[in-house]
Structure 1
Amino acid sequence: MSTHLADEPLTIGFVLLNRFTLMPFAAFVDCLRLAADEGDRSRQLRCRWTFMASNSEAVLSSSGAAISPCEPFSNPRGFDYIVVVGGVQAEGDRQDSAALAYLREAAGAGVPLVGLCTGVFALIQAGLMKGRRCCVSWYHHRDLVQRFPAIEPVADRLFIDDGDRLTCAGGAAAADLAAYLIERHQGKAWAMKSLNIMLLDEARAGTHPQPQPVVFGKIEDRLVRRAIAVLEQHLGEALSMEALAERVGTSRRNLERRFRDSLGVSPLKFSRDLRLRYGLWLLHYTGKSVTEIGERCGFADTAHFSRHFRKAFDATPSEMRKRAGEPGSDRVDPFFLHIDGRPVP
């Protein structure tokens, strides 16, 4: 892929799908806008962008905000990148066949394609990710695996640059990817200008981990899957088993039986292991104190957190942090709680 001279604009064509996710789109395009001009004047000088959709009228985002007007799909060769912003993945939603055809046309023309958030689903549906690695949010990992079992998604980083296919987990990571492309084409100063105005300290690398542990593995019991989803969303608190059972519409006794049948452990232990994994991630990748981490993971006090942490990882939190900082050390994988009949600490 050729790199532009600094005086040539970086041109981006956005393909907005129905109910596209607003934050990754806004983070990406605002990073472009701030790098495009001096100050905050928003002239499309160093960066240029076009909003396109199969229906060239307004396109609704997942929050109901609309982008209007959008242009019809134009010759993809006029862009350095085509960025597809995916929508809510709801059962029964129809594929945007015109958008998928346009993505295939762009790929055929050799234009690099960027999948933001669930935009990677569209790239897969268009048949453009065979044999490719793709990045997806931990939140959408399970859905992607179920819908596209031949694809191996990566959910332990912010984005992946695979040459002419770039995929991003979405959310605030879209700003990191935009800054990465701006730095490539216009220089680091312009990328940093955007991030600083957006009150972001610096661009995170694509390999930077996503800040959530993820539960991986096949769980047949739908009630157990629902309970795990609730636990993933409440890592900062120790939910009582009564509250968890109520959230998923069952009794505590039934919930405990179903967890033991599916995973061989109680929901209480599973919840604690999940929060300990989150604590391990925070120890590796943040500068928060052990006390702060224990509180953030829902433990009553530091002693309680340290006691369970040492039992799970055979080291105290302080020892683990010191070990992680040693060159060449083998660190415990902080990202995933794998499921293979039972949780593995």
Structure 2
Amino acid sequence: MRTTLPRPDVRLLLVPLPDFALLPFGAFLDKLRFSADDEDRSRQRYCAWTLLGIDAAPVVSSSGVQVGMDTTADAVDLSAFDYLVVFGSRTVQASRAYADAYGPVLRKAAARGLPLVAIDNASFLLAEVGLLRGHRVALHWRHVAEFREAFPRIAVASEQIYCFDRDRITCAGGTAAIDMAVELLSRHCGRVRAFKGLADMLVDAPRHQGHQLQSMDGGGPDLTRHLARAVALMRSALAEGLTVAELAERIGIGRRQLDRLFTEHMGMSAHDHWTKMRMEHAHWRVTHSHHSLAAIADEVGLGNASSLARLFRQHYGTSPGALRAGRANAESEDA
């Protein structure tokens, strides 16, 4: 006799955009799988999910892995779901470019009162189609300045890895998708079921939405509270004309004490670390966007393209223009 499974506690419609990143997609989906059933049976009993595409064709991830779709935008019954979850494309520009294709189903879902979840660069898509007005947004710190420039009226939760704001949930991407999934499942399935499987995923404990990420070059778990706060402020204030002394004042310690902390844990002064952070951001933007050098210089608080080019060459041994030209040539050869 066939056993009929009860209605799941939460039902999610998953929408991976073309060229989506596998890490947040797989992390989020595997957390659902662990919590969906007893033991490790992987049935969609307590939570269920369906993959949606614009059409029935598989969607290809940024690593080339193809994922089959369960339903299409024309056929889906939105009333059968509790959330619509969008996984962003590899680049901001690509996510925004899908506004015409995915905008209708997103607006229809929002009009029906379906909460929308944006993971990784999907926040840019939701903002592009006008569905983040009046909401706070959590982003990867690398994209904060770009988002603020594109959507200056939308508030950014710059020191959060995910943000629940009424019927909008946003997530910085990466492994933060696990933390956000745990919080979402806790609200529908309870904390015991939401935490199920974390040990198998080698996750000690889910991080709170206000968790402060460590520096890109790593500082380990021994970073002090003041240093972690300084790194977070540096990220959120890349474009500001703050001095290190003003940064130290905001944290509540002296400039010399802050430099000692950075020298001890990062191997460089606070000023040098902040410059390195700015250059890493500028390098990523030069490589992955078509914005002018002047605009990128403003994003990282350097004021003009000449200063950016000078520091860029010091750090990377080449000019921003040469780097872009080399990448463009490589892409044309691959095409």
TM-score exceeds 0.5: yes
**C-alpha contact 2:17 2:89 (8 A) present in aligned 1:** yes
Q: Secondary structure at the match of 2:91?
A: coil
Q: Distance in 2 between matches of 1:59 and 1:97?
A: 17
Alpha-carbon distance, 1:296 to partner: 5.0
Aligned twin of 1:115: 118
TM-score by length of 1: 0.62
**C-alpha contact 2:60 2:67 (8 A) present in aligned 1:** yes
**C-alpha contact 1:137 1:169 (8 A) present in aligned 2:** yes
**C-alpha contact 1:59 1:70 (8 A) present in aligned 2:** no
Q: Provide the aligned length of Structure 1 versus Structure 2.
A: 243
Alpha-carbon distance, 1:105 to partner: 0.6
Aligned twin of 1:191: 194
Aligned twin of 1:238: none
Aligned twin of 2:266: 297
Alpha-carbon distance, 1:70 to partner: 4.2
Alpha-carbon distance, 1:35 to partner: 0.5
Q: Distance in 2 between matches of 1:61 and 1:297?
A: 35
Alpha-carbon distance, 1:297 to partner: 1.3
Partner amino acid for 1:29?
L
Aligned twin of 1:23: 23
Alpha-carbon distance, 1:141 to partner: 1.2
Partner amino acid for 2:42?
S
Aligned twin of 1:55: 55
Q: Secondary structure at the match of 1:196?
A: coil
Query: Residue 134 of structure 2: which of 131, 134, 138 is its match?
Result: 131
Identity level (%): 33
Higher relative helix content? 2
Q: Distance in 1 between matches of 2:63 and 2:237?
A: 29
Alpha-carbon distance, 1:201 to partner: 1.3
Gaps of 5+ in 2: 1-5, 216-230, 275-298, 304-335
Aligned twin of 2:66: 66
Kindly indicate whether residue 218 of structure 2 is the aligned counterpart of residue 216 of structure 1. Answer: no
Q: Distance in 1 between matches of 2:88 and 2:44?
A: 24
Query: Residue 162 of structure 1: which of 140, 143, 165 is its match?
Result: 165
TM-score by length of 2: 0.64
**C-alpha contact 1:23 1:172 (8 A) present in aligned 2:** yes
Partner amino acid for 1:88?
R
**C-alpha contact 1:54 1:96 (8 A) present in aligned 2:** no
Q: Distance in 2 between matches of 1:217 and 1:298?
A: 20
Q: Secondary structure at the match of 1:11?
A: strand
Aligned twin of 2:311: none
**C-alpha contact 2:161 2:176 (8 A) present in aligned 1:** yes
**C-alpha contact 1:57 1:70 (8 A) present in aligned 2:** no
CA RMSD of aligned residues (A): 3.6
Q: 1:129 to 1:69 in 2, by over 3 A?
A: closer
Aligned twin of 2:98: 95
Q: Which structure carries more relative contact order (alpha carbon 8 Å, separation 6+)?
A: 1
Q: Secondary structure at the match of 2:135?
A: coil
Partner amino acid for 2:28?
F
After superposition, what is the alpha-carbon deviation per residue over 1:149-204, rounded to whole angstroms, capped at 9, x for unaligned?
A: 33232221111111111111111111011011111111111111132221111121
Aligned twin of 1:75: 77
**C-alpha contact 2:162 2:172 (8 A) present in aligned 1:** yes
Q: 1:298 to 1:181 in 2, by over 3 A?
A: same
Q: 1:153 to 1:69 in 2, by over 3 A?
A: same
